[in-house]
Structure 1
Amino acid sequence: MIVLENGASRLQLFPNVGGSVAGFTVDGRDILRPMTQGAIDVLDAASFPLVPFCNRIPHGRFAFEGRDVGLKPNLGGHPHPLHGQGWREAWTVDSAKGAQALLSYDHAPSDWPWAYRAEQRFILGERGLRMELSVTNTGDAPMPAGLGFHPYFPRRPGEALKATVGGVWMIDETVLPTIHHEGVWGPDWARGAGVEGHDSLIDHCYTGWNQLAELSAPGQPTTTITASPECRWLHLYVPPGQDFYCVEPCANRPNPFGPPDSGMVTLAPGQSHVIWMEITTG
């Protein structure tokens, strides 16, 4: 475990478990859901990186520049591999000093047949955290790439989420996007809506996001999320009956090799793709 401190802020990193964040507090208050003591599953983390793609690829099969690719499942018995390789591997600590840390992960060709290097830079402010995530093609052929963040937030009593979005991808029973719905569906996040009391699972990708979200609760400071312009999609995961939810800035949508304009980019050998996210509180 690596611990960074700056003023009222404290950040815990768990590099061996998916390069994850284990905790982030300001004034002793949990801004991200804290990882349980002794937990070793990245799904119990406070946040983890999505690299080199976000969300699900149907049955792990796609074609890219004449090459057919088949990825192995990486979430129990779920049929669709998701979130790339970085969240399932240990990361190296390149540096950790003062209020900054740099972690890296080098991927050798496997079922994902391209070599790449991913880096996470953490910059801890006195009342906030900036995370930068990059991927560099270290192979000798073009590689597809997408990036995202997967932070978990504690669901406070009366919690509301406000985020300007223009539409949403509907999902099937295996959480794959089916059709795009323009306008409001379910909670009206643009006006601010509660994250409590939903009877059914929200695990949807929202479009038209303006890279800003606010999390508020009565009598408590507001948490603000901002992201880089590449993060055009906001994925929300709100499981009924749980004390947490996820607000995920993403630079590609689910089924990234499906319909056009998925956000995936093509990296030439040596080329990089970078996104960032900032989480601040009052």
Structure 2
Amino acid sequence: MPFEIFKQQFGELSEYVIHDTATENRCVVVPELGGIVRQLSLRKHLTLFSILKTPPTPQTLIDDTKSAGELLFPFASRIPDGKYTFLGKEYQLSKNEAGELNAIHGLVRKQQFHIEEQEVEADYASLSLSCGIDQPEGYPFKVHFRVKYTLFADGRFTLNYQARNEGSDACPVMFGWHPYFVLGNEMLDAWKISIPSTEIVTFDYNQIPIGKAPFHLDRPALLHQKAFDNCFIVEQISGKVVTQLISENQHVTLNVEQEAGKGKFNYLVIYTPPARDCIAIEPLTGNVDSFNSGDGLNILAPGNTAEGTITLSLT
């Protein structure tokens, strides 16, 4: 079989590698740091592209505060002042954003994930990991969170998440992924982007939604001199939505496909860091601050599950 999964050390961290020996495509996962993907390499023709930007050393990865590659659950983005109301009750989360203004990016960041399953088949290999949430401060619910990473022989990479309510009360859940993408050694200004949206979320001074507005941008549009730190409501013409990041100089396009529709990934955050050496393309199942607004929020009855899939590919 061309696929293999093996364990290796990255400094004091242990990581698992999903490897396709036929193409050299690989995915490197660090269970003890929130189950993040540290490296993802995909081939187009003769070129193997390393498409994720993450901190380069074990210590900088541990110390990272920019959420590179992190899984954001049971909420993503900001909750103002860490306060939310759910089914008539008020809750207070830890204000963990810089400056302690808001709660941000969930409760599984940097947490230990456990390997649940490894699969190696002729045309794919996958690694499933999980982390339990058991009534932490500000979120008195019990949820089993699971993520499955899969590399396919045709070059696709998928991230599938599942959240199951294991408690006795209904609970709110939202999921997002926070990867920073690169294409070769080019800077962001050389790329084009196609954003599958005609509606943008408007923010206040604290990056909290206050409404929605029409959004018009060429598809694709050159990123040169454009800056984004925005949330978009994606088009739901079909059950799948694709954001494209295009390098015409290298003749390669990164396709970030998210499931859309009821309970799926109906929101998208685009962020261009000041260094302009990468871009964050973040599929979300709910709007920023959905714990308060309810926009896109999944409410799970006891025993129920929410799930969805993100697919990456190069063309």
Shared fold (TM-score, shorter chain, > 0.5): yes
Choose which of 78, 102, 118 in structure 1 pairs with 2:145: 118
Choose which of 28, 37, 50 in structure 2 pairs with 1:21: 37
Query: In the TM superposition, what whole-angstrom CA distance separates every residue of 1:184-209 from its partner, at most 9, and x where no partner exists?
Result: 3xxx1x522233433xx522111133
Is 1:281 paired with 2:314?
yes
Identity of aligned residues (%): 22
Matches within 5 A, 1:101-112: 101-111=127-137, 112=139
Deviates more, 1:87-96 or 1:216-225: 87-96
Query: In the TM superposition, what whole-angstrom CA distance separates every residue of 1:206-254 from its partner, at most 9, and x where no partner exists?
Result: 1133421111112321111111121111111112333111111111000
Q: CA deviation at 1:76?
A: 3.1
CA contact (8 A) 2:177 2:284 kept: yes
Is 1:166 paired with 2:184?
no
TM-score, normalised relative to structure 1: 0.90
Is 1:61 paired with 2:83?
yes
Is 1:3 paired with 2:17?
yes
Give the whole-Å Cα distance in 2 for the aligned partners of 1:115 and 1:47.
Answer: 24
* AA in 2 matched with 1:209: E
CA contact (8 A) 2:266 2:284 kept: yes
Q: Partner residue of 1:71?
A: 93
Matches within 5 A, 1:107-146: 107-111=133-137, 112-126=139-153, 127-146=155-174
CA contact (8 A) 2:172 2:291 kept: no
CA contact (8 A) 1:209 1:233 kept: no
Q: Partner residue of 1:217?
A: 247
Give the whole-Å Cα distance in 2 for the aligned partners of 1:272 and 1:42.
Answer: 31
Q: CA deviation at 1:78?
A: 3.9
Q: Partner residue of 2:9?
A: none
Q: CA deviation at 1:103?
A: 0.5
CA contact (8 A) 1:23 1:32 kept: yes
Q: Partner residue of 2:304?
A: 271
Q: CA deviation at 1:93?
A: 1.4
Give the whole-Å Cα distance in 2 for the aligned partners of 1:45 and 1:202.
Answer: 17
Query: In the TM superposition, what whole-angstrom CA distance separates every residue of 1:73-130 from its partner, at most 9, and x where no partner exists?
Result: 2233241112211224121112335321001000110221111110000111231200
Q: CA RMSD in A?
A: 1.9
Is 1:31 paired with 2:51?
yes
Unaligned runs of 5+ in 1: none
Secondary structure of 2:265's match?
coil
Give the whole-Å Cα distance in 2 for the aligned partners of 1:131 and 1:90.
Answer: 18
Secondary structure of 1:257's match?
helix
Choose which of 272, 275, 280 in structure 2 pairs with 1:238: 272
Q: CA deviation at 1:42?
A: 5.1
TM-score, normalised relative to structure 2: 0.81
Is 1:94 paired with 2:127?
no
* AA in 1 matched with 2:214: E
Q: 1:41 to 1:134 in 2, by over 3 A?
A: farther
Give the whole-Å Cα distance in 1 for the aligned partners of 2:314 and 2:65.
Answer: 24
CA contact (8 A) 1:17 1:41 kept: no
Q: CA deviation at 1:45?
A: 6.5
Q: CA deviation at 1:258?
A: 3.7
- Count matched residues: 275
Q: CA deviation at 1:68?
A: 1.2
Q: Partner residue of 2:210?
A: 178
Give the whole-Å Cα distance in 2 for the aligned partners of 1:256 and 1:103.
Answer: 26
Unaligned runs of 5+ in 2: 1-14
Deviates more, 1:114-123 or 1:230-239: 230-239
Q: CA deviation at 1:65?
A: 1.4
Greater C-alpha Rg? 2
